[in-house]
Amino acid sequence: MTMIRVNIYEAKSQLSRHLARVEQEGETIVICRRNIPIAEIRPLPQRRHSPRETGFLAGSFEVPESFFEPLPDEILRTFEGEEPEIESGS
């Protein structure tokens, strides 16, 4: 993967050109302020063009029965936004 370093002024004035390189060639642009890197522009992963097949992992793992048991009250309270109770040591 190629990395190109540009200062902010060049990044602003040539943004379309740099974005085209990111999109077409998969390059990463490192944005610098006074030659010190501060950010990067990189290509995103390609989107799927077809839906994922359902059930392709069927039979490759087993869900334990404990998965379907109710959660403990302390965990449920945390999900509801309550502070967890802290046990004090004696």
From residue 82, alpha-carbon distances to 20, 25, 72, 79 in Å are 48, 49, 14, 7
Per-residue confidence at 61, pLDDT binned at 50, 70, 90?
confident
Structural domain includes residue 88: no
Q: CATH number of the domain at 18, please.
A: 3.40.1620.10
Residue 22, domain extent: 3-41
Question: What number is the average pLDDT over the span 58-64?
Answer: 88
What integer pLDDT is reported at residue 1 of this predicted model?
61
Q: How many domains does the chain have?
A: 1
Q: What is d(CA 28, CA 3) in angstroms, rounded to the nearest whole number?
A: 5
